[in-house]
Structure 1
């Protein structure tokens, strides 16, 4: 299935990924029982990532199963981009501190003008929402191992949890506005971010 362009609410696309995630999760359980280690271990703690605007070239979307150091399996949807520009970047995670209560570690960039720029940018997310999505040259239903516009994270491709026959999506270009991720991992080959600020504040000060 291919379209030259599309405009829709991004959360609808998550529904397409559910069958792939179930298949990949089953594969992951099989591999775990065979005592094969995943190539990428996560902490398992979710954090929030948001952007006022995210413009990407070479988009890929596919199902994966991340694994924690304890061996727990976490099904995720990976959204990747060869090149991405981000306005109003925010990342936050709540850290419980004994006696003192919760603290929020919050990172922001490109909020006073300018853009954060990244290459080979991947977000392993449990949810992704955006108020508006504009896509060009969209393909839905392509096999994950046959992506041409976007790419598979190098670590994922080497993982026994990656299913090359699982359903995936790709687009030549995408623009998302008011983006909100609940994620367990982010990786990038390079990241350049103006006005970077990292703060630890007592209480809840999440991105959304």
Structure 2
């Protein structure tokens, strides 16, 4: 499957992104990341995914469109690019599993009713699950005309996009490739390296 996307033409990538986002929109959508295109990525992605979960995410100013995450060797990954101007995340968990080893790095924050907060969040994600509620949402908007999210967060002309005034996602489960935020306040931050039987991811 990956070989089909190693060296695609520009048009093929745009078509893939246009097909990807509607499916993600039906499932729910959002949380942090790294934009491609309108917002230039400041780093090459590692190629490894990580997991993020939260009991609830509340955000103002949501946008989503198709994009591509690129590794330093040029390998490309189709992603759903999502952004929120301001977000609160309750019971946040992020985990990264070491390939080929029973080792997991886990970060927790935003517990005890004191959420983690962030502004200017953008994400490159592979998948998302949860119960989502959007207010004043436009689905199928030209991605180049998106104005509801973080400044400059928009995709290609005539590509599929969506935006909403607010978003609430409960029981969030997300697989992502990169995360970027203008500010990210992790209330009650704890970080732990788990090995062996204790090496469990967020979900």
TM range (shorter): 0.7 to 0.9
Q: Distance in 2 between matches of 1:106 and 1:147?
A: 34
Q: What does 1:13-92 correspond to in 2, within 5 Å?
A: 14-15=22-23, 40-92=43-95
Contact kept? 1:17, 1:77, Cα under 8 Å: no
C-alpha spacing 1:180/1:168, structure 2 compared with 1 (3 Å):
same
Equivalent in the alignment of 2:107? 107
Q: Distance in 1 between matches of 2:65 and 2:171?
A: 22
| Equivalent position SS for 2:58 | strand
- Following superposition, the deviation at residue 112 of structure 1 comes to 2.5
Contact kept? 2:24, 2:128, Cα under 8 Å: no
TM-score (norm 2): 0.76
* Largest Rg, 1 or 2: 1
Unmatched segments (≥5 aa) in structure 1: 1-12, 19-27, 29-36
TM-score (norm 1): 0.75
CA displacement, residues 75-95 of structure 1 (integer Å, 9 cap, x when unaligned): 000111000001010000101
Contact kept? 1:51, 1:87, Cα under 8 Å: yes
Number of corresponding residues: 170
Q: What does 1:124-135 correspond to in 2, within 5 Å?
A: 124-130=124-130, 132-135=131-134
- Following superposition, the deviation at residue 193 of structure 1 comes to 1.6
Q: Distance in 1 between matches of 2:188 and 2:97?
A: 22
Contact kept? 1:38, 1:67, Cα under 8 Å: no
Q: Distance in 1 between matches of 2:53 and 2:115?
A: 14
Equivalent in the alignment of 1:198? 191
Q: Distance in 1 between matches of 2:146 and 2:84?
A: 12
C-alpha spacing 1:176/1:72, structure 2 compared with 1 (3 Å):
same
